[in-house]
Amino acid sequence: MEFYRTHVLVCAGTGCTSMDSRLLRQNLYEEIIKRGLEKEVKVIETGCFGFCNLGPVMVVYPEGTFYCQVKPQDAAQIVEEHFIKGRPVERLLYQHEKDTANVVEMENIEFFKHQKRVALQNCGLIDPENIEEYIAQDGYFALAHCVKDLTPMEVIDIIKKSGLRGRGGGGFPTGTKWEFAYKSQADQKYVVCNADEGDPGAFMDRSVLEGDPHGVLEAMAIAGYAIGASKGFIYVRAEYPIAVERLKIAIRQAREYGLLGDNIFGTDFCFDIDIRLGAGAFVCGEETALLASTEGRRGEPRPRPPFPAVKGLFDKPTIINNVETFANVTKIIRNGWEWFASMGTEKSKGTKVFALAGKINNIGLIEIPMGTTLRTIIYDIGGGIPKGKKFKAAQTGGPSGGCLTETHLDIPIDYDNLIAAGSMMGSGGLIVMDEDNCMVDIARFFLEFTQEESCGKCPPCRIGTKRMLEILDRITTGKGTPEDLDNLEVLANTIKSSSLCALGQTSPNPVLSTIKHFRKEYEAHIYDKKCPAHVCQALLSYKIDPLKCKGCSLCARNCPAEAITGKIKEPFIISQDKCIKCGDCMTRCKFGAISKE
């Protein structure tokens, strides 16, 4: 082995890969070889750093220099200036605000400063395709400790005491789940990893699998040892090709090193893992549907009990944990439950990964201790709302959750506080909305998603969500009636109480929570036939202000519907019955004479 003075970590997550990071790495390799530095400078492909909207990102160690929005053609300058002369390339450094000083070190960037990375610890730090780098980061020592020094019940006890709760949405105590499966008697048991991440906007599971696949494999083996299972399955979406590829490599390497397979660490413990690809149905993230799909049957939920811990995969006791849950397990074993329990709030321990999306400056993936406020997330880490707009709401829990408003900005975020606020943790998608978002339209968007993704097994979800969507369609097109609001609430409560699985039961939540917090917006749509945020097209009309219009005819010449008429140098007029409300005229007008209302 050789000593490399400089390590260049280039993000190879899905986000940065879509922005040409592969070509950037290629160019870096070539430039490094051209200058004879290949024995001194090492380029490593890592998982996601989280700062996705500034991609492609790369970090140069040991200095910890953080470069963002690096283009493939920047490679030559970076090699020449930084790797040879030791001068960071200023124009590629991070700037907190325009015209402020560049920030050189990654650890001093606001976005990273407030984070506490536990599940994402290795993401962006190691090469996910190299098992030895994972081992160098104390990888597989937790598994060794468990199978060599601890009894299964002792392992379960540590997880229980740590207070770890399921990160996939429900928040069920992980240790308790393991104990149920441990106590179930059977000749065969299974460990299943739920990597069927389906919430719109959430991508933490993908990032963990892409950046630290061995962390999940090791934790699954620990779970297998704890409950007495010898077989594990990872159910992962086929839409995550990079994650699937890295998982396959990781499993192959772990088998080669004897970290999966028979007699692990010379003990009687045997454990192996296989991958099952999901076809992207939202319902397959529900545990009983996921099991059915893993068995090769149609992905449909079934009633519980019996719970999977008693009767799961192939009718054998099975534990199903989410990727992020597993990503925490190895760290708890390694650092002790006391360490984990010292983070977070009274009933929600540890950290949580959130995917920031929507109207927020720093779109990306963050990990924060439980109990951090929404204000810190949005304004300190997220960098606030673009264009100085006003914060309106944040949707947590995806289509199963609800929205948080300005009044919730300062509550500590944990499982119980979110439920009390009418939302839920969910898998950690956090979609930020500003004053330009119509809340009725948002509710309609999520309901359209759940309605389309309903598996159709139980009528409340299949028919109920369809009827709700029809009502919302009416409201957003100006055909709403005063009874619609009451009907929505009745339908919502029926679906909530009578659906078979959690996906159905939670599908009306976005509607209920927007009605609760933004009733006035619904009423404006129904009674005044107006969309206060100017989003719902049917309720919009574009008008030309005759005082501002110079009669240049630019709008009229470009109108696809030929709805604008007038004489040159005189105010033009939009014919409302021809207008298709595309907004093209408004963006083209150089005098700001066109407005929508």
Of residues 245-264, those binding another protein (CB under 8 A)? 257-259, 263-264
Of residues 214-243, those binding another protein (CB under 8 A)? none
Q: How far is the CB of 263 from another protein (least distance, A)?
A: 8
Return the number of other C-beta atoms located less than 10 Å from residue 361's C-beta.
18
Q: How far is the CB of 43 from another protein (least distance, A)?
A: 13
C-alpha to C-alpha distance for 32 and 27, rounded to whole angstroms: 8
Closest by CA position to 152, among listed 267, 52, 51, 72: 267
C-alpha to C-alpha distance for 234 and 191, rounded to whole angstroms: 9
Of residues 113-132, those binding another protein (CB under 8 A)? 125-126, 132
Closer residue to another protein in complex, CB, 125/559: 125
C-alpha to C-alpha distance for 537 and 530, rounded to whole angstroms: 10
- Provide the phi-psi class of 336: left if phi over 0, else alpha when psi is between -120 and 50, else beta: left
Closer residue to another protein in complex, CB, 92/259: 259
133 binds another protein (CB under 8 A): yes
452 binds another protein (CB under 8 A): no
378 binds another protein (CB under 8 A): no
Could you tell me which stretch among 137-145, 370-378, 405-413, 536-544 binds another protein (CB under 8 A)?
137-145
Could you tell me which stretch among 4-12, 283-291, 333-341, 578-586 binds another protein (CB under 8 A)?
4-12
80 binds another protein (CB under 8 A): no
The string of DSSP letters for 488-548 reads HHHHHHHHHHH-SSHHHHHTTHHHHHHHHH-HHHHHIIIII---TTS--GGG--EEE-TTT
C-alpha to C-alpha distance for 283 and 461, rounded to whole angstroms: 12
Closer residue to another protein in complex, CB, 65/325: 65
Q: How far is the CB of 402 from another protein (least distance, A)?
A: 39
C-alpha to C-alpha distance for 471 and 476, rounded to whole angstroms: 9
77 binds another protein (CB under 8 A): no
Of residues 36-55, those binding another protein (CB under 8 A)? 39-40, 42
Could you tell me which stretch among 80-88, 217-225, 426-434, 540-548 binds another protein (CB under 8 A)?
80-88
Closer residue to another protein in complex, CB, 218/484: 218
Q: Which of 49, 66, 67, 83 lies at the binding interface for another protein (CB under 8 A)? A: 83
How far from chain centre, in Å, is Cα 273? 25
Number of residues that bind another protein (CB under 8 A): 38
Closer residue to another protein in complex, CB, 126/418: 126
State both tokens at 568. Answer: 């040159």
Q: Which of 29, 180, 265, 339 lies at the binding interface for another protein (CB under 8 A)? A: 265
Q: Give me the 146-185 binding string for another protein, x by CB under 8 A, dash otherwise.
A: --x-------------------------------------
Q: Which of 85, 390, 567, 590 lies at the binding interface for another protein (CB under 8 A)? A: 85
Q: Which of 23, 53, 141, 445 lies at the binding interface for another protein (CB under 8 A)? A: 141
State both tokens at 14. Answer: 């899905």
268 binds another protein (CB under 8 A): no
C-alpha to C-alpha distance for 418 and 436, rounded to whole angstroms: 24
89 binds another protein (CB under 8 A): no
Closer residue to another protein in complex, CB, 255/519: 255
Closer residue to another protein in complex, CB, 259/431: 259
SS3 percent helix, strand, coil of the chain, rounded to 5, is: 45, 15, 40
C-alpha to C-alpha distance for 540 and 550, rounded to whole angstroms: 23
Q: Give me the 6-35 binding string for another protein, x by CB under 8 A, dash otherwise.
A: xx-x--------------------------
SS3 for 85-146 is: CCCCCHHHEEECCCCCCEECEHHHCHHHHCCCCCCCCCCCCCCCCCHHHHHHCCCCHHHHHH
Q: Which of 18, 30, 96, 138 lies at the binding interface for another protein (CB under 8 A)? A: 138
480-493 core/surface letters (b: 16 or more CB in 10 A; e: else): beeebbeebeebbe
Which CA distances in Å does 507 have to 283, 299, 320, 475? 12, 18, 22, 19
User: Between vectors from CA 119 to CA 333 and to CA 287, what angle results, nearest 5°?
Assistant: 90
Summarize as ranges the residues that interact with another protein (CB under 8 A): 1-7, 9, 39-40, 42, 61-63, 83-87, 125-126, 132-133, 135-138, 140-141, 144, 148, 257-259, 263-266
